Structure 1
Amino acid sequence: MNPKARQSDSLPAPGADALAQSEALTQLIRERIAAAGGWLPFDRYMDLALYAPGLGYYSGGAMKFGRRAEDGSDFVTAPELSPLFAKTLARPVEQALRESGTRRVMEFGAGTGKLAAGLLTALAELDVEIESYEIVDLSGELRDRQRATLMAQAPTLAAKVEWIDALPDAFEGVVIGNEVLDAMPVRLVVRKLGAWHERGVVAEGEGFAFADRPVAVDAQIEQIDAAIDETNDEPFAEYVTETHEAALAFTKTVCTMLVRGAAFFIDYGFPRREFYHAQRAGGTLMCHYRHRAHADPFLYPGLQDITAHVEFTGIAEAGVETGADLLGFTSQARFLMNAGVTDVLSDIDPSDVKRFLPAANAVQKLLSEAEMGELFKVIAFSRGISGTVDAFMSGDRSHTL
């Protein structure tokens, strides 16, 4: 039995309908590989696996977000983990809206809609009158879940929400992207004995395999090459990493669109010097299926998430290049602490054990270095805001970018 078969056998098997979807997507990708001459860059494979219309992971009908594998989901995000995440995030959002004199919010990749419902409710409690809450999400299935969540959890505010298919040329307000950057397609590049290659995908048997091709060294690879050598003392026979063209382009688009207000991005990753540390010599590509992480992007195409850690120095440079200000950069733990997550938790009566203990445990996961607190970072850009917001006033790490 080959290793992929063993890995597949160790994970829950998909149902017949899901497997049929995956097989249809596999056939589509194989056709694209053939049309490209037998080799497809990995970012094109990842784009198809995640976003192929009707078949990709985010554009199809997979459950995606949830608390446990038994509900058919693959991973949990901070808004799913605790409603206190949205209630705390509402504070810097409120301050950014107030400081910029704006009243609109735009969220990318709104998941199940819990963050939108929580933010709308918390902002209303802070006496903020939102003109509109715009959601950008490619998945029709997720849009339906978002509508249902909003009607259930924020029925009086749901009318303020609209789903948009195209970005406006200009936007005044606050933009939010929670775990959006990590889901954008990445190129895979490999340095072998000093020579750079691009790692692509070929058809093999009934599935796929990696295949490397020599690649011309461009400015981005030169930058990576220098960062690897600067960060590490020992040489590497092989060093695998990612380039983040899609995330950089997205950041530039959002920061160009933002004419007044702020944009907050929350995701896992590192500044450049940490990103290219020896610990990540095999790259950061990771897959999530039924709450289990593994490294095989060819398992069940369209039914599993494929992600890569964010290189935040590049994101900062991309935003600032547009003329936006870097509002701040820090760990999720520091950001939430500064924003008053402990005060939000204290609103729950500790004697109400059934409510308080689960809430406290969830907050601990949001803040703990061993959980989400240190790996996840918050980076924000602004226009028309003097200084920063309170959530970045202590422990800002912009100097590390």
Structure 2
Amino acid sequence: MQDIRAAGGWIGFDRFMQAALYAPGLGYYANESPKFGAMPGSGSDFVTAPELSPVFGRVLAAQVREALDATGTHDVWEFGAGSGALAAQLLGSLGERVRRYTIVDLSGSLRARQQARLAPFGDRVAWADQLPEALEGVVVGNEVLDAMPVQLLHRRAGTWHERGVVWAGDGFAWEDRATALRPPVEIGGPHDYLTEIHPQGEGFMRMLAQRLARGAAFLIDYGFGEDEYYHPQRHMGTLVCHRAHQVDSAPLADVGLKDITAHVNFTAMALAAQEAGLQVLGYTTQAHFLINCGLLSQLELLAQAQRAQAAKLMMEHEMGELFKVLAVAPGAPWGPMGFAQGDRTHRL
């Protein structure tokens, strides 16, 4: 509310989302709620792939190992490590192949949980408040881009507006203001249309290009390529909230008590990386990526109940199709195993 007053009574949704998720002591990722977990009974709000099954990290480790070898590097950097589950799985699988595992996370409360969970790995794990001017190694980000604030654009009666937030006396409310901002592609049809653009996510990709001197980055998230993202029928956008494993579309309610997220425009991320000097090594579905990295052989080693849970990682109606993997790297391109079959780079 203070930010709104200081800004003259209106702020863009990206600024509101930033505060709702990350404001110290008040934002969703700054408080002590459990957040991550497989079942609502744990007090969690949503499940990510590493919590769904430890097989996720073990399979991803095969790709990380290949990337370390291909780039002659020894360090792993994870952005937004959540509960620390993925870090534990990667460290357990990669062993001494990883010299240093560095976590970059904005949340102090999550950092404390990560430190407790990863204590067995000793001083091989470190936390960074800021990145060095140049880093080397393999970068991993699972469900990081979707948590970056987005701007909302609303075409109403043929005119584009930026959707922002005001204080209405008893709560937050929407207010649209005419804008010169546009989606990156023309939206067909005359109908009203609400969508998102991703300047902060694109800025993250440019930052990677500036800092990643040697290595590769693998970013896993839910989203689409540009043509599908801005399909004329997707007229309500992708912005949603998660709380107690339920989904709603009311980000202005219960602020700080639930996650706010938008799907990723992977075309925008790939273009931002390319324009800043990185090569796109591959883009595919999570199902194809994990199968290429050995998921099926891992499933054979599991008991039936564990196998059924891990299979959700590749099932089309679970995480397999909606989640995508984008890989980028500096220098000459090479072919990571995760994109050997089913690469969709041509569809970005």
Q: TM-score range by the shorter chain?
A: over 0.9
Question: 2 CA distance for matches of 1:158 and 1:75?
Answer: 29
- Paired AA for residue 204 in structure 1: A
**Structure 1 position 385, deviation (Å):** 5.7
1:374 maps onto 2:335 in alignment: no
**Structure 1 unaligned residues grouped into runs of 5+:** 1-29, 230-234, 349-355
**Structure 1 position 386, deviation (Å):** 4.7
Match of 1:26 in 2: none
1:59 maps onto 2:11 in alignment: no
Match of 2:108 in 1: 140
Match of 2:137 in 1: 173
Question: 2 CA distance for matches of 1:44 and 1:130?
Answer: 37
- Paired AA for residue 87 in structure 1: R
- Paired AA for residue 223 in structure 1: P
Match of 2:170 in 1: 206
**Structure 1 position 191, deviation (Å):** 1.1
- Paired AA for residue 172 in structure 1: E
Aligned partners of 2:316 and 2:322 also within 8 Å: yes
TM-score when normalising by structure 2: 0.97
Question: 1 CA distance for matches of 2:211 and 2:289?
Answer: 25
1:360 maps onto 2:304 in alignment: no
**Structure 1 position 197, deviation (Å):** 0.4
**Structure 2 unaligned residues grouped into runs of 5+:** none
Task: Identify if the C-alpha distance between structure 1 residues 64 and 222 changes in structure 2 by more than 3 Å, giving closer, same or farther.
Answer: closer
Match of 1:94 in 2: 65
1:268 maps onto 2:222 in alignment: yes
1:345 maps onto 2:299 in alignment: yes
**Structure 1 position 255, deviation (Å):** 2.3
Report Cα offsets for 1:328-387 as digits up to 9, x if no partner: 000000000000011122233xxxxxxx12321122211111011000000010124652
**Structure 1 position 158, deviation (Å):** 3.4
Q: Which has more helix, going by share of residues?
A: 1
TM-score when normalising by structure 1: 0.84
Match of 1:196 in 2: 160
Secondary structure in structure 1 of the residue aligned to 2:184? helix
1:257 maps onto 2:211 in alignment: yes
Aligned partners of 2:183 and 2:196 also within 8 Å: no
Residue among 125, 149, 154 paired with 2:117:
149
Kindly tell me the number of residue pairs found equivalent between the two proteins.
Answer: 348
1:310 maps onto 2:264 in alignment: yes
Question: 1 CA distance for matches of 2:278 and 2:180?
Answer: 32
Secondary structure in structure 2 of the residue aligned to 1:55? coil
Question: 2 CA distance for matches of 1:158 and 1:76?
Answer: 27
Question: 1 CA distance for matches of 2:292 and 2:233?
Answer: 30
1:30-179 to 2 correspondences below 5 Å: 30-124=1-95, 128-151=96-119, 155=120, 157-179=121-143
- Paired AA for residue 185 in structure 1: P
Aligned partners of 1:100 and 1:385 also within 8 Å: no
**Structure 1 position 238, deviation (Å):** 0.6
Aligned partners of 1:261 and 1:385 also within 8 Å: no
Which contiguous aligned blocks of 4+ residues in structure 1 show a shift greater than 6 angstroms? none
**Structure 1 position 39, deviation (Å):** 1.2
- Paired AA for residue 156 in structure 2: K
Question: 2 CA distance for matches of 1:81 and 1:102?
Answer: 29
**Structure 1 position 162, deviation (Å):** 0.3
- Paired AA for residue 323 in structure 2: F
Match of 1:327 in 2: 281
Question: 1 CA distance for matches of 2:243 and 2:211?
Answer: 34
Secondary structure in structure 1 of the residue aligned to 2:66? helix
- Paired AA for residue 336 in structure 1: L
Task: Identify if the C-alpha distance between structure 1 residues 108 and 89 changes in structure 2 by more than 3 Å, giving closer, same or farther.
Answer: same
Secondary structure in structure 2 of the residue aligned to 1:283? coil
Question: 2 CA distance for matches of 1:313 and 1:81?
Answer: 27
Aligned partners of 2:281 and 2:333 also within 8 Å: no
Aligned partners of 1:96 and 1:385 also within 8 Å: no
Question: 2 CA distance for matches of 1:380 and 1:399?
Answer: 14
Bigger mean CA deviation after superposition, 60-69 or 378-387: 378-387
Identical positions, percent: 51
**Structure 1 position 193, deviation (Å):** 2.6
Secondary structure in structure 1 of the residue aligned to 2:319? coil
Secondary structure in structure 1 of the residue aligned to 2:137? strand
Bigger mean CA deviation after superposition, 368-377 or 385-394: 385-394
Aligned partners of 1:172 and 1:258 also within 8 Å: yes
Question: 2 CA distance for matches of 1:176 and 1:223?
Answer: 27
- Paired AA for residue 347 in structure 1: L
Report Cα offsets for 1:139-187 as digits up to 9, x if no partner: 1111111122223xxx2x3320000100111111100010000000001
Q: CA RMSD in A?
A: 1.3
**Structure 1 position 256, deviation (Å):** 1.8
**Structure 1 position 69, deviation (Å):** 1.8
Larger Rg: 1
